[in-house]
């Protein structure tokens, strides 16, 4: 199957453009998705740190509350006396005034004297780590299971009377309720779950309208990393059929063992939607640009194929014998040079044919003269025979006359035959040279025809590509305008994000002021407690714990402020990038318009060139056929010239023999005259 040069060029251009467009699309897609994933992971890490800070704050708060109760002298006396009613009232008052969700007061043997969250008493809590450490004189806080509350964050503090430990007060927060995870979600906007081992104890994730409490973690990699290796696991994960950016990290109990897992996760639905919109926009723009380039390539191929087509048509016409064909190609490039060479070739061919015809006529004239001389010699021989019969003397007289004429004619004929022989030899040489030149010209014409055909196909391809390119340029301008509109919208959204971050910063400043005031009040309280002496010792400890809590609040506030500053800086950078992107889009629109105008010009030029090249190719093919016919004719002329030269040589020998016989006859006549 013959494939034209136009389609070859189009195929090559289309394949190259598709490869480049695909590379650009996949590269942009990779970096966009990678950037969003990295941002989501960083956000999850930030929220994980925030949850850890909140857990630390809860531990300190529980310790402070437990210490406040343990340092109450009335509580110590009630423990020694076993006054459960008073202790229960103290426990409930603490729960009402603070965030503490349960309070347990036990004696030095670990037996429960009162609970603020339950009426159950008399059972032993000696197996709890916080109780053991408190009876050993240590304050502690950590996660551990309990009797009434199964999974909680607990703090234990020893109760002393006259320097001796008489009991333990335990404060805590029930991690099995939903209040803690709901507060995390309300504050951060992410899903939160607390696992007891591999089972969801409490969660904000809802399935079929209900919280997914009691369901199992089914990802073995998460279980191995967090529960077995006690290491955090941050990655994308599928939870109940939906994609989340997640972070899992171990919950370490009071004994330093992994008792469960913390989880926070952000639904990827919004992120994936934004990624899809960006990738779709990139795909559309890439497709439009690729289509523009394909059209430009087709127009370029067409610009080459048209003039080559004209050249081909001209060459074919000449090859078929039409020496009056004309070639109109006015290109100023290699195609124009090819057309000029074909026109000169036709002129040279006409000159060679005229020279061959002239040499043939000269050979025919010399052959006619030789035939006349031969006829005269035969006539003379006949007259000699008649003279012999009529009489020797009369014959001798006549023969003498004839011999003179014959000798004269032989000399003249010999000279003419010699001249004809030289002409025939020269004609044979010229015919050979003409044959060689025609063979070379024929090869050149064939090569021209092939090149013209290929150029014609390339020109057609270039034209088509250029036409398609013009259409794609217009579409690209529309797509770029849409991108510009989306860029402006995104810039406005980033501005709103910056303003919201500033509002959060103001709130954090208020919190920081409150922490400063709290710290100052704690210092004043410590001073007053010092003035009170031994009676104010317990209050001094509480004031010190409040001061530490205020300092931690200030530190956490500063960390949040730094994060907000980073968000504001990123927002300003994004706004600046959006402005630069908008300017780039505007420049791209202008360039696309200019590309459309250039492609229109290319279409016109390629169209004209393609027609000329097709004409050249056709003419070259026809000229090749005609050249072959001429070459065969020249070979025939060369053969006839060779035969004529040989005949002339033989005639020359015959004339020489005739001259010798005439001389002998002259001698014989002289002898006859002498005998007479």
pLDDT of residue 436: 64
Check: CB of residue 438 under 8 Å from CB of residue 627: yes
Q: Are residues 312 and 447 in the same domain?
A: yes
Q: What are phi and psi of 159, to 5 degrees?
A: -100, 125
Q: How many CA atoms lie within 13 A of 457 on its CB side?
A: 16
For residue 259, give the nearest of 110, 377, 151 by alpha carbon: 151
CB 465 within 8 A of CB 298: yes
In a domain, 147, yes or no: yes
Which of 243, 267, 291 is the endpoint of a domain? 267
Residue 324 and residue 427 share a domain: yes
- Residue 223 CB: number of other CB atoms within 10 A? 19
Residue 311 in domain: yes
Based on the domain organization, do 170 and 201 belong to the same domain?
Answer: no
Q: Quick one: 160 and 201 in the same domain?
A: no
Residue 556 burial (10 A CB sphere; 0-12, 13-18, 19+): buried
Answer yes or no: is pLDDT of 263 > 90. Answer: yes
546 within some domain: no
Answer yes or no: is pLDDT of 198 > 60. Answer: yes
pLDDT score recorded for residue 473: 53
Residues 170 and 194 in one domain: no
Q: How many distinct structural domains can be found in the chain?
A: 3
Q: Greater confidence, 63 or 529?
A: 63
Q: Quote the DSSP letter at residue 224.
A: I
Got the DSSP string for 21-38? HHHHHHHHHHHHHHHHHH
CA angle 272, 275, 276 (to 5 degrees): 85
Q: Which residues sit opposite 271 in a β-bridge?
A: none
Percent of the chain with pLDDT strictly greater than 90:
16
CATH number of the structural domain spanning residue 85: 3.30.450.20
**Do 349 and 421 sit in the same domain of this protein?**
yes
Element (H, E) at 247: strand 242-252
Report how far residue 377's alpha carbon sits from residue 665's, in angstroms, rounded to the nearest whole number: 14
Q: Which residue has the higher pLDDT, 625 or 380?
A: 625
Give the structural domain span for 211: 179-267
Are 94 and 116 within 8 A, CB to CB?
yes
Looking at the domain assignment, is residue 486 inside a domain? Answer: no
Let me know whether 308 and 429 are in one domain. Answer: yes
The two three-digit tokens of residue 623, written as one number: 């000229």
C-beta separation of 84 from 114 below 8 A: yes
- Name the band, by pLDDT with cuts 50, 70 and 90, for residue 674: low
| Shared domain check, 143 and 90 | yes
Q: Is residue 347 part of a domain?
A: yes
Note the pLDDT tens digit of each residue in 72-91. 999 999 999 999 999 999 99
521-542 mean pLDDT: 64
Q: Is residue 57 pLDDT above 80, yes or no?
A: yes
d(CA 523, CA 540): 9
Which of 220, 244, 267 is the C-terminal boundary of a domain?
267
Compute how many other C-beta atoms are within 10 angstroms of the C-beta atom of residue 187. 13
Number of helices (H) and strands (E), helices first, in the chain?
Answer: 11, 12
If asked whether residues 344 and 437 sit together in one domain, one would say: yes
The whole-number pLDDT of residue 111 equals: 94
- Per-residue pLDDT band for 63 (boundaries 50, 70, 90) equals very high
Kindly write down the DSSP assignment for every residue of 68-120, as one continuous string: HHHT-HHHHHHHHHT-HHHHHHHHHHHHHHSS--EEEEEETTSBEEEESS---
For the record, the structure tokens of 570 come out as: 């990123």
Residue 500 lies in a domain: no
Average pLDDT rounded to a whole number, residues 251-277: 84
E strand map for 127-241: 140-144, 152-161, 164-174, 191-196, 199-203, 206-207, 210-211, 233-239
User: Which residues sit opposite 312 in a β-bridge?
Assistant: 615
pLDDT of residue 238: 80
CA–CA gap between residue 237 and residue 245 (Å, rounded)? 6
Same domain flag for 440 and 314: yes
Q: What pLDDT sits at residue 303?
A: 76
Average pLDDT over residues 499-517: 67
Contact by Cβ (8 Å): 431, 356: yes
Q: What percent of the chain has pLDDT over 70?
A: 53
Q: Is residue 169 part of a domain?
A: yes
Indicate if 385 and 406 belong to the same structural domain: yes
248 contact partners, CB below 8 Å, separation of at least 6:
222, 225, 226, 232, 233, 234, 261, 262, 263
Q: Please tell me which of 496-505, 593-602, 630-639 the model is most confident about, judged by mean pLDDT.
A: 496-505
Give the 3-state secondary structure of residue 482: helix
> Of residues 542 and 183, which shows the higher confidence score?
183
Which secondary-structure segment (H or E) carries 259?
A: strand 258-267
Asked whether residue 465 is assigned to any structural domain, the reply reads: no
Considering the domain architecture, whether residues 316 and 443 belong to the same structural domain is answered as yes
Among 267, 282, 314, the domain boundary falls at 267
Closest CA to 515 of 544, 555, 487: 555
Closest to 212 measured CA to CA, from 196, 194, 200: 200
**What is the pLDDT at residue 115?**
93
Listed ranges 21-35, 595-609, 662-676; the one with the highest mean pLDDT: 21-35
| Alpha helix stretches (DSSP H) within 189-254 | 220-223
**For the segment 632-651, what is each residue's pLDDT rounded down to a tens digit?**
655 665 565 566 556 556 65
Q: What is the pTM of this model?
A: 0.43
Query: Rounded mean pLDDT of 603-628?
Result: 59
* Per-residue pLDDT tens digits for 1-42: 667 777 777 788 888 888 887 888 788 777 777 777 788 788
């Amino acid at each position: 199957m013959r494939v034209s040069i136009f389609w070859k060029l189009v195929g090559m251009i289309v394949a190259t453009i598709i490869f480049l467009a695909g590379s650009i699309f996949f590269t942009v897609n990779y970096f966009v998705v990678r950037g969003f994933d990295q941002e989501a992971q960083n956000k999850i890490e930030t929220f994980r740190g925030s949850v850890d800070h909140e857990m630390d704050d809860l531990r300190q708060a529980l310790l402070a509350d437990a210490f406040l109760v343990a340092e109450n002298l009335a509580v110590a006396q009630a423990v020694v006396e076993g006054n459960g009613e008073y202790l229960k009232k103290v426990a409930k008052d603490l729960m009402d005034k603070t965030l503490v969700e349960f309070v347990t007061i036990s004696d030095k043997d670990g037996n429960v004297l009162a609970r603020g969250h339950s009426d159950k008493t008399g059972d032993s809590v000696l197996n709890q780590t916080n109780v053991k450490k408190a009876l050993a004189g240590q304050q502690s806080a950590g996660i551990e299971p309990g009797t009434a509350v199964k999974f909680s964050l607990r703090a234990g503090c020893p109760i002393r009377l006259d320097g001796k430990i008489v009991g333990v007060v335990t404060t805590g927060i029930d991690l099995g309720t939903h209040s803690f995870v709901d507060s995390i979600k309300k504050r951060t906007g992410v899903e939160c779950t607390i696992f007891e081992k591999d089972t969801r104890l409490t969660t904000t994730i809802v399935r079929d309208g209900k919280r997914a409490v009691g369901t199992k973690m089914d990802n073995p990699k998460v279980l191995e990393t967090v529960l077995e290796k006690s290491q955090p696991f941050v990655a994308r994960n599928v939870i109940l059929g939906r994609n989340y950016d997640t972070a899992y990290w171990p919950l370490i109990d009071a004994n330093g063992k992994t008792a469960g897992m913390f989880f926070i996760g952000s639904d990827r639905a919004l992120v994936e939607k934004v990624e899809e919109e960006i990738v779709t926009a990139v795909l559309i723009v890439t497709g439009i640009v690729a289509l523009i380039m394909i059209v430009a390539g087709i127009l370029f191929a067409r610009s080459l194929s048209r003039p080559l087509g004209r050249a081909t048509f001209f060459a074919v016409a000449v090859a078929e014998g039409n020496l009056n064909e004309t070639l109109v190609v006015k290109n100023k490039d290699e195609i124009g040079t090819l057309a000029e060479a074909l026109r000169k070739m036709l002129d040279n061919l006409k000159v060679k044919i005229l020279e061959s015809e002239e040499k043939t006529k000269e050979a025919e004239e010399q052959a006619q003269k030789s035939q006349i001389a031969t006829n005269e010699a035969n006539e003379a021989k006949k007259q000699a025979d008649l003279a012999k019969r009529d009489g020797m003397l009369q014959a001798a007289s006549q023969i003498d006359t004839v011999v003179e004429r014959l000798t004269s004619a032989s000399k003249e004929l010999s000279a003419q035959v010699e001249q004809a022989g030289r002409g025939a030899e020269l004609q044979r040489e010229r015919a050979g040279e003409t044959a060689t030149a025609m063979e070379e010209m024929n090869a050149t014409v064939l090569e021209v025809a092939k090149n013209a055909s290929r150029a014609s196909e390339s020109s057609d391809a270039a034209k088509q590509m250029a036409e398609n390119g013009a259409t794609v340029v217009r579409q690209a301008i529309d797509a770029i305008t849409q991108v510009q509109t989306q860029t402006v919208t995104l810039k406005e959204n980033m501005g709103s994000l910056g303003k919201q971050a500033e509002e959060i910063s103001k709130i954090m400043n208020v919190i920081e002021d409150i922490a400063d005031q709290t710290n100052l009040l704690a210092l004043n309280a410590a001073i007053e407690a010092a003035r009170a002496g031994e009676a104010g010792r317990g209050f001094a400890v509480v004031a010190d714990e409040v001061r530490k809590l205020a300092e931690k609040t200030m530190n956490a506030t500063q960390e949040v402020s730094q994060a907000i500053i980073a968000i504001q800086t990123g927002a300003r950078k994004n706004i600046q990038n959006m402005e630069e992107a908008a300017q780039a889009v505007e420049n791209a629109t202008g360039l696309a318009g200019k590309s459309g105008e250039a492609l229109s010009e290319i279409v016109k030029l390629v169209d004209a060139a393609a027609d000329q090249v097709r004409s050249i190719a056709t003419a070259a093919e026809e000229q090749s056929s005609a050249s072959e016919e001429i070459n065969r004719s020249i070979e025939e002329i060369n053969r006839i010239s060779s035969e004529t030269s040989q005949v002339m040589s033989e005639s020359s020998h015959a004339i020489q023999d005739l001259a010798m016989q005439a001389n002998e006859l002259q001698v014989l006549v002289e002898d006859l005259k002498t005998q007479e």
